[in-house]
Structures are given as C-alpha cells and as structure tokens.
Amino acid sequence: MARKPPTSDPIQDAPDVHPPQQAAAGLPAIGHTLGIAQQQMGLRRTALTLLKVNQKDGFDCPGCAWPEPGKRHRAEFCENGAKAVAEEATLRRVTPEFFDTHPVSELARRSGYWLGQQGRLTQPMYLAEGADHYVPVPWEQAFNIIAEELTSLASPDEAVFYTSGRTSNEAAFVYQLFAREFGTNNLPDCSNMCHESSGSALSETIGIGKGSVLLEDLYHADLIIVAGQNPGTNHPRMLSALEKAKSHGAKIVSINPLPEAGLQRFKNPQTARGLATGTPLADAFLQIRIGGDQALFRALNQLLLEAEDASPGSALDRTFIDQHTHGFDEFAATARTTDWNDVLHATGLARHDIEKLLGMTLRAKNIIVCWAMGLTQHKHAVPTIKEVVNYLLLRGNIGRPGAGVCPVRGHSNVQGDRTMGIFERPAPAFLDALEKEFGFAPPREHGLDVVRSIRALRDGRAKVFFAVGGNFVAATPDTHVTEDAMRRARLTVHVSTKLNRSHVVTGARALILPTLGRTEKDIQATGEQFVTVEDSMGMVHASRGTLEPADTQLLSETAIICRLARAVLGPDSVIPWHEFETDYDLIRDRISRVVPGFGDFNTKARRPAGFTLPHAPRDERRFPTSTGKANFTAAALEYPHVPEGRLLLQTLRSHDQFNTTIYGLDDRYRGIKGGRRVVLVHPDDAAAAGLADGTYADLISEWTDGTERRAEAFRVVHYPTPRGCAAAYYPETNVLVPLDHTADTSNTPATKSIIIRLEPAHESARDQEHPVTAPVTT
Ligand SMILES: Nc1nc2c(c(=O)[nH]1)N[C@H]1C(S)=C(S)[C@@H](COP(=O)(O)OP(=O)(O)OC[C@H]3O[C@@H](n4cnc5c(=O)[nH]c(N)nc54)[C@H](O)[C@@H]3O)O[C@H]1N2
Ligand SMILES: Nc1nc2c(c(=O)[nH]1)N[C@H]1C(S)=C(S)[C@@H](COP(=O)(O)OP(=O)(O)OC[C@H]3O[C@@H](n4cnc5c(=O)[nH]c(N)nc54)[C@H](O)[C@@H]3O)O[C@H]1N2
Ligand SMILES: [Mo]
C-alpha cells in the first residue's frame, strides 16, 4: 500500500554530508527509484506504469526533453524520470476535505515539499475574496468567474497567460489561440527563465532558435563538449547516448565549475558491465569559474585563428566560411585582440588546459557542443552562446552529420510549446498564418515575458494571472517581490496536477483547476485522445496515457482551455472550441495549416516513431538570418566581476527535485543527505569568511542599487569548486535573485551569477527549524 504523506511540517532540514561520488546511476539508482515510486504508487502500479514510459504505445516521460532512441530499451526511463512519473501517478489525493481542514493562511506556511507530497488535486477549488478556505466549485462556475474578471479588464493586456513546458502541443496551440483571440500576446513561459538565451543567440546567428543535432549525430561526433550542464541528474538518459558516442570513438569534455558525477563515470543500469564497473565518460574536465565560458570559447577561437595563420588550411574550414557565413573579418579582428589576462582571470584555467582543448578541436572532424543552464542563466549568456557558435562555424561544424549546436532543453515539451506559438514576441509570419486560417486579427504588439509580467503585476498594470502548469511564484526570482506582486492581482488561476506554493500565494480571488497528467487516459466525446510533444532535437511524437485519471472530475488541459474560451469569448468567437475539445484531430488539422513542418500532421503523428521537424541549417545548410548566412558575431568580452571578499553564487538543482517539485532531501552524487539548505564553497573561501565546514551561514546578496537580500542558515559544505564560486539549491535561493538581474537581450533571470557574502548565521536562526523549501524571511 502506498505510504501516507508526511503530516508534520516544518520537516527538519538537517543535512548530513559525505564526500561527493565519482560515478552516476548503477544499482543505487535502481534502488532509489523503486523506493520513491513505491511510496507513491505501491508495487503493482509502479511496475505497470514504469514499463509504459517512453514506449511507442505509451506516454512521453513527463521529466526532461531528452529524445528517445529509435530502438527502445524495455526500460527506457531513468531514475529521475521514474520519480517524475511516480509524482504524477501517486495514489495520494488532495480532496475538498483537505482544504476544509487546512486554511490558506496555514498552507502558506507549509514547505513546497510538504504541499507537493499531499497528492493529486481532484476538484476545481475556489478562494473567494477575503476567504481563508478554498471551497469546491463546479467547473461551469469556475469558468464564469474567470470570464467575469477577464471581460471587465480595461484592456486584454491586463491579463497574463503563463505556460510551463509540460503542456502538450494541442493544448499549447489552443491556449495561444485563445489568448490572441482574446487580444493579447502576454504569453510568458518557463522558457523565459530557461533556454531563452539560447533562442536569442541561435536565431541571430543561424536563423532558428533550436538545436541542430539529432540523437544519431552524437554517434558520429569526434568531440562532444558538455558545457554548463549536469546530465547525470537532469538528463540521465543522455549518459547512455554519451557512452555510445564514446564507444564510437568520440572524446568528451566537461566544462563545469563542479566535478559532476555522471560526467566523470557512468554505470549504465541497462547493461551488466555498466552495473559492475561503469564507463569513465569525460576525457577532459575543465573546471571553469562561473561565468567564464565566453572567455574560454573566445580564447579557443583566437588560438584557432593563430593555428590557421601558422599553417593555412589546417585549422579552419575556409570553404564553409566563404560560402555560408557572414561577419568573419570583424569577428576575427576582435578575437585576435583577446587579452589572456582576462581569459585566465575569467576562466580560472591554466593556458595549457585551453591549449589541450585546442588540440582536441584540431584532431576532431565533427564537433558538437551541448549546453544547458550553466550557460543560459548569466547576464552575458547571449554573447557566450554566440561565441560557442563562432567556435563551431570556424570549422564548419554545422549542417553536416556528427556536428552542431545542442542546447539541451528542460521540460519535456518546452520546445514544442514554442513551436505552437507560446511566445510573447511571435513572428509576424506566424500571426499572418493564424489570421489567414481563423479569420481574426491577432494582436501585433509584443507581450510580456516572465520578468516583465512580474513588474506589471507589481505595478498594477496586470490584474489577472492564469497559468497552465508550473509554479510561478517559486520558480521566478526575487521571491518576496514576486509574491507581493501576485497578491496584488484581482484573480489568479492555476491549471495544475499537484498542489504548490503558487496556489497559496494568491490574488484577491483564486482558482485551482485540476487536470489530467501525461500518464492518464484522455477520453472525450469522440473517444480516447492522444497528444503530441516535441523533444529537444525537434522530433515530434504521440503520447498516450494509460492510467485511469486520478479523479473522475479532472478535465484535460485542452478541454479546460476550450471551455474557458467559450465562457470568455461567447458566441462571437470565430473558433470551433467545442469541436476542438471533442476531437484533437481537428486541432492538429489546424496546426498542420499554421505551423511550418506539420503538414499531414494527423498521419505523421500516428507513425510509431513520430517525425522530425525541418531545420534549415541542419538539413540544407540554409541559414534564414537577416543576412541569409550564418552570422559570426564580435561581442565585447564579458565576465562577472566579483568584489573583494564576495562570492559568485550559482543556484542549481539537487538530484531529488524537478525544478520546484521536491522528491526528497538527498543529493546523492554530491554527498548531501537529508537536507537542502546547504552552500557548497571552497574551503579557503569558507575560512576567509570565518566559517568551518558544518557551521551555518546566512547568504546575503548585494545588488548594484545597494539593496541586500538575505537567505538564512545554510550549512557550509567544503566542496571542490573553484575559489570565489559557490553553489546552493533553487528554489530556496530565489529570495536572493534581484528581479532586475537578467541576461541582456533574452531577459532571462541571471540565476547562475549572484554576488553574495557569507555571514555566520545567528544562533536563533541556526536552531530554528527551517521548513524545507519554504521561502525564508529576510
Ligand atoms: N531530475 C531533473 N531533471 C531535470 C530538471 C530537474 O529539476 N530535475 N529540470 C529540467 C529543466 S527545466 C532544465 S532547464 C534542465 C536543467 O539542466 P541543468 O542545466 O543541468 O541544471 P542545473 O542544475 O541548473 O545545472 C547547471 C550546471 O551548470 C553548471 N554551471 C553553473 N554555472 C556555470 C558556468 O558559468 N559555466 C559552466 N560551464 N557551467 C556552469 C553547474 O555546476 C551545473 O552542473 O533539466 C531538466 N531536467
Ligand atoms: N534560481 C533559479 N531559478 C530557476 C532556475 C534555476 O536554475 N535557478 N531554473 C529555471 C528553469 S530552467 C525553469 S524551466 C523554471 C521552471 O518553472 P515552472 O515550469 O513554472 O516550475 P515547475 O517546478 O516545473 O512546475 C511544477 C508544477 O507544475 C505542475 N504540473 C506538473 N505536471 C503538470 C501537468 O502535466 N499539467 C499541468 N497543468 N501542471 C503540471 C504541478 O502543479 C507542479 O507543482 O524555473 C526557473 N527558475
Ligand atoms: Mo528549464
């Protein structure tokens, strides 16, 4: 029988610290997976459910966006995918009686971990103005409340429609259609906090904001650079792909401030050898300082130019550069003046480390660079990624097998949601296509992204906040500012599977609309439906739930949006919302006429392996940029400047979480057990702050306008990180991130580079029980 959720909270956050591990996965991973899954689902359901993950007749894993191989293994999921499934397929339920017992004022003091552990939401719930308890509300009434608020706004732009990246293509398409027929482009999404910097950099340089490699390409690569990514925890199935690439002769380089376990050694749980000894994955580990990547790639590019000078024809692909690129001369002139004092200071690396990577580059015909949040969440993230593109362009590493750019996406359908038009700055061509297909005039002005939405709520310019999935107040920066902003809203609505903090930090009125998860059957008037998703490599395929819905009252996301649209837009709407709700094929027909690459969508979606979306640079070396070529860029060299006695803090994920969903309190590979309030620091930095390993420190962030933000009582952990660089988990540390601290161009919160100082924690704060993941007071 599935265990009961914890009843007491605050749960003691008491980290127990061991040396970090060298190897990832293996037997402990299997044991840990089954343990967590069984607690939530019981034994039989665990076995039945996990066998359907990522199978051709099953559902897409609700975890990360890593693609599935064509030939699937019987167990095509990973430890953390299994945790994501268990979290959704749990047998625990949040019922109206739960809300009767727990007033919102009490739930707001509970931790995110506790809230998530209560189980699946079962009925629409309504919090009236001034009330302290959510009460059950019939669906129709819920839609009428939203319609009443939306239609009384002075302008459609006073509403904000957020999406988290689990939403299916079908739901995403009808959602953006509804927002635009209603009259706004205010469609912020989690991508604004995630790979927006990749999208900005890639659109400008190669003409499409998506990665250019397919899974197969990894197996043809000679060199794979993994920069700013921790696949052992966040994309575990990528380790199998890297292992295979390595067996085909690829060299692998990890660029990271931390020695992440999975990249050091991988014990593939799908093979006997893997379980026994495992494979060392990385051939080289460059332990870079936080924010030093632009300098590293700039230096590599300079060395490549010099190697070409010394021996023409040896280092660069001149034919590619001449035929397919623009801006080489200006870029080369800038790269040639690179100051090595800057490079060594920014990276913390030795010159010979960088020269070693040059050697590997020169020996490799085909190169792929993979990256994730370690590159995207910095003030200078966009120029950093553009420098990676420069590096690949120099040797023609784009648009041929085994080579290319590989931004590894986060949420399982975050890339698909963008393809479906969830974007606050839609391309005019997309709006033209909507207009032609549906016959209404979509708004043309750009809408609000995540950070701008928070400002609009804070300043009273936005009054209704609607979210399909996600946990907005916990995932976004500047927790106190954001929570206050949310409380100023007239109405906040969340379409969710599980309870989270965003349900208890609400506007004057609030609604929780419970929805089906990806694991569940979706039955509509015309019969059982399936949905589609797009993975990190532009492959689209079907996902079919196999479990009975968590409750008979749940509606699918698509149904919720269609019914909402009817309630808000009324009979004047030009869109057949009711038909869309009853038959998702009708939605796919429209998508096939609006979104390039989706022709004959309904047929192709039914192919067992799905289909690949076109990608001009990858398929035909065509670069749809402003110049019609791939653009070299020459940005100024930037890196974080940290004042004396201060540290640069990166906020990252532990092994037992999926973003703001906390599965447990361990970070096994990093040796942390039973707690999350830890700060990983170099022993000399701890000593300089007068702190020993095991003592407690407050983290105080210092912002340029003189304001300070404090997070109390983190256990100091000596860790092999470069001097001056610290790490702590998100979302607890979002209190420290100033709202205005964002990446240039992409406006992504710069959550990987926060200037902090450490102070010994007050006795009182140290002894206080800190509710796990609840925001602390400043
Ligand atoms: N199990 C699990 N899977 C997930 C998620 C999850 O929370 N749990 N989240 C999903 C989502 S939405 C996303 S976006 C991805 C995130 O996947 P990742 O990007 O791997 O996630 P983070 O934990 O933020 O790790 C950032 C990595 O970059 C390194 N890093 C930090 N700063 C720098 C830097 O300046 N330079 C370099 N070179 N490295 C740096 C860190 O040490 C760390 O290894 O994972 C997805 N998959
Ligand atoms: N400091 C700091 N902040 C960060 C980051 C960081 O590295 N550091 N990373 C950023 C990144 S990369 C991202 S992507 C964002 C994540 O931001 P979000 O996507 O907003 O957050 P999640 O924690 O993934 O959302 C979890 C919630 O989604 C709901 N949910 C789960 N499955 C479903 C479903 O199938 N349907 C619906 N409707 N709801 C569902 C559940 O209620 C759950 O509580 O956070 C960002 N914030
Ligand atoms: Mo993400």
CATH assignment of the domain containing 476? 3.40.50.740
Mean of pLDDT values over 694-711: 97
Residue with tokens 């050091």: 264
Q: Determine the atom of ligand 2 nearest the C-alpha atom of 88.
A: 32
Q: Are residues 84 and 99 in the same domain?
A: no
Q: Which of 60, 78, 163, 652 to mutate to test the pocket of ligand 1 (most atoms within 8 A of CB)?
A: 652
Task: Dump pLDDT digits (tens) for 42-65.
Answer: 777 877 788 778 787 888 888 888
Is residue 734 one of the residues assigned to a domain? yes
User: Is pLDDT of 176 > 70?
Assistant: yes
At 510, the pLDDT band (50, 70, 90 cuts) reads very high
Give residue 20's pLDDT: 86
Which amino acid belongs to residue 457? L
Give residue 46's pLDDT: 79
Task: Kindly give the pairing relationship between strand 531-534 and strand 754-760.
Answer: unpaired
Q: Determine the atom of ligand 1 nearest the C-alpha atom of 227.
A: 38
The candidate with the shortest Cα–Cα distance to 522, out of 504, 548, 503, 502, is 548
Contact 376, 385 (CB under 8 A): yes
Contact 48, 100 (CB under 8 A): no
| Centroid of ligand 3 to alpha carbon of 416 (angstroms) | 13
Mean of pLDDT values over 185-201: 98
Q: Are residues 181 and 251 in the same domain?
A: no
Give residue 42's pLDDT: 79
Mean of pLDDT values over 326-355: 98
136: alpha, beta or left, given left = phi > 0 and alpha = psi -120 to 50? Answer: beta
Give residue 116's pLDDT: 95
Tokens for 437?
Answer: 């297909």
| Centroid of ligand 3 to alpha carbon of 191 (angstroms) | 6
Closest residue by CA, ligand 1 atom 24: 652
Give residue 55's pLDDT: 80
- Give the DSSP letter string of 172-184: HHHHHHHHHHHT-
Q: Does 469 contact ligand 2 (Cβ within 6 A)?
A: yes
Q: Does 659 contact ligand 2 (Cβ within 6 A)?
A: yes
Q: Are residues 97 and 211 in the same domain?
A: no
Contact 712, 764 (CB under 8 A): no
Residues 181, 255: Cα–Cα separation, whole Å = 45
| Centroid of ligand 3 to alpha carbon of 412 (angstroms) | 10
Q: Does 514 contact ligand 2 (Cβ within 6 A)?
A: no
Residue 353: give the domain boundaries.
196-408
Q: Determine the atom of ligand 1 nearest the C-alpha atom of 234.
A: 3
Q: Which residues pair with 168 in a beta bridge?
A: none
Q: Which of 87, 120, 376, 497 to mutate to test the pocket of ligand 2 (most atoms within 8 A of CB)?
A: 497
Across 56-60, 681-685, 686-690, least confident range: 56-60
Across 25-34, 150-159, 395-404, least confident range: 25-34
Q: Which of 161, 496, 520 to mutate to test the pocket of ligand 2 (most atoms within 8 A of CB)?
A: 496
Q: Is the pTM of this model over 0.85?
A: yes
Q: Does 517 contact ligand 2 (Cβ within 6 A)?
A: yes
Domain containing residue 736: CATH number? 2.40.40.20
Q: Does 256 contact ligand 1 (Cβ within 6 A)?
A: yes
At 82, the pLDDT band (50, 70, 90 cuts) reads confident
Closest residue by CA, ligand 2 atom 46: 475
Residues 635, 401: Cα–Cα separation, whole Å = 29
Residues 311, 105: Cα–Cα separation, whole Å = 71
Which residue among 62, 88, 114 closes a domain?
88
User: Is pLDDT of 275 > 70?
Assistant: no
Q: Are residues 151 and 270 in the same domain?
A: no
Residues 762, 755: Cα–Cα separation, whole Å = 21
- Among all bound ligands, the one having the nearest atom to the CA of 171 is 2
At 274, the pLDDT band (50, 70, 90 cuts) reads low
Is residue 147 one of the residues assigned to a domain? yes
Q: Does 228 contact ligand 2 (Cβ within 6 A)?
A: no
Average pLDDT, the chain: 93
Domain containing residue 227: CATH number? 3.40.228.10
Sheet holding 491-496, edge to edge: 135-136, 125-127, 509-514, 491-496, 464-468, 159-163
Q: Is 155 exposed, middle or buried (0-12, 13-18, 19+ CB in 10 A)?
A: exposed
Task: Dump pLDDT digits (tens) for 350-359.
Answer: 999 999 999 9
Q: How far is CA 143 from CA 27, 126, 150, 259, in A?
A: 48, 11, 10, 50
Contact 293, 255 (CB under 8 A): yes
Share of the chain above pLDDT 90, in %: 84
User: Is pLDDT of 776 > 50?
Assistant: no
Q: Does 496 contact ligand 2 (Cβ within 6 A)?
A: yes
Query: 37-41 long-range CB contacts below 8 Å, 24 or more apart?
Result: 37/82, 37/83, 37/85, 37/86, 38/2, 39/2, 39/3, 39/86, 40/2, 40/86, 40/87, 40/89, 40/90, 40/91, 40/92, 41/2, 41/86, 41/89, 41/90, 41/91
Q: Are residues 158 and 183 in the same domain?
A: yes
Residues 613, 610: Cα–Cα separation, whole Å = 10
Q: Is 165 exposed, middle or buried (0-12, 13-18, 19+ CB in 10 A)?
A: buried
Give residue 27's pLDDT: 63
What phi and psi, each to the nearest 5 degrees, are found at residue 553? Answer: -85, -10
Mean of pLDDT values over 600-612: 96
Q: Does 751 contact ligand 2 (Cβ within 6 A)?
A: yes
Burial 290-313 (b: 16+ CB within 10 A, else e): bbbbbbbbbbbbbbbbebbeeeee
Q: Which of 163, 229, 472 to mutate to test the pocket of ligand 1 (most atoms within 8 A of CB)?
A: 229
Q: Determine the atom of ligand 2 nearest the C-alpha atom of 502.
A: 44
Across 23-37, 98-112, 435-449, 650-664, least confident range: 23-37
Q: Are residues 172 and 218 in the same domain?
A: no
At 774, the pLDDT band (50, 70, 90 cuts) reads very low
Is residue 635 one of the residues assigned to a domain? no
Q: Are residues 291 and 308 in the same domain?
A: yes
Name the residue with higher pLDDT: 770 or 647.
647
Which residue among 88, 112, 136 closes a domain?
88
Q: Does 565 contact ligand 1 (Cβ within 6 A)?
A: no
Q: Does 658 contact ligand 1 (Cβ within 6 A)?
A: yes
Mean of pLDDT values over 514-523: 96
Mean of pLDDT values over 738-763: 96
Tokens for 34?
Answer: 């089954």
Task: Dump pLDDT digits (tens) for 653-665.
Answer: 999 999 999 999 9
Is residue 603 one of the residues assigned to a domain? yes
Q: Are residues 61 and 152 in the same domain?
A: no
At 12, the pLDDT band (50, 70, 90 cuts) reads low
Residues 201, 209: Cα–Cα separation, whole Å = 7
Name the residue with higher pLDDT: 16 or 168.
168
Is residue 468 one of the residues assigned to a domain? yes
If DSSP codes are grouped into helix, strand and coil, which group holds residue 251?
Answer: strand
Across 68-72, 413-417, 539-543, least confident range: 68-72
Mean of pLDDT values over 762-770: 61
At 152, the pLDDT band (50, 70, 90 cuts) reads very high
Q: Are residues 543 and 677 in the same domain?
A: no
At 31, the pLDDT band (50, 70, 90 cuts) reads confident
Task: Kindly give the pairing relationship between strand 527-529 and strand 531-534.
Answer: unpaired
Across 271-285, 379-393, 439-453, 713-727, least confident range: 271-285
Tokens for 18?
Answer: 């061991």
Give residue 777's pLDDT: 36
Task: Kindly give the pairing relationship between strand 125-127 and strand 279-280.
Answer: unpaired
If DSSP codes are grouped into helix, strand and coil, which group holds residue 286?
Answer: strand
Q: Does 168 contact ligand 1 (Cβ within 6 A)?
A: no
Is residue 490 one of the residues assigned to a domain? yes
Count of CB atoms situated within 10 Å of the CB of 458: 18
Three-state helix/strand/coil letters over 80-118:
HHHHHHHHHHCCCEECHHHHHHCCHHHHCCCCHHHHHHC
Mean of pLDDT values over 137-164: 98
If DSSP codes are grouped into helix, strand and coil, which group holds residue 280?
Answer: strand
Q: Are residues 503 and 375 in the same domain?
A: no
Is residue 48 one of the residues assigned to a domain? yes
Is residue 670 one of the residues assigned to a domain? yes
Residues 662, 650: Cα–Cα separation, whole Å = 19
User: In the chain, how long is the greatest CA-to-CA distance?
Assistant: 77
Task: Dump pLDDT digits (tens) for 547-598.
Answer: 999 999 999 999 999 999 999 999 999 999 999 999 999 999 999 999 999 9
Domain count, the chain: 4
Task: Kindly give the pairing relationship between strand 708-718 and strand 696-702.
Answer: antiparallel
Helix axes 381-394, 293-310, angle to 10 degrees: 20
Give residue 3's pLDDT: 47
Q: Are residues 460 and 543 in the same domain?
A: yes
Q: Are residues 667 and 589 in the same domain?
A: no
Most confident of 74-78, 275-279, 706-710: 706-710
Task: Dump pLDDT digits (tens) for 94-136.
Answer: 999 999 999 999 999 999 999 999 999 999 999 999 999 999 9
Which residue among 88, 120, 141 closes a domain?
88
Give residue 347's pLDDT: 98
Give residue 766's pLDDT: 58
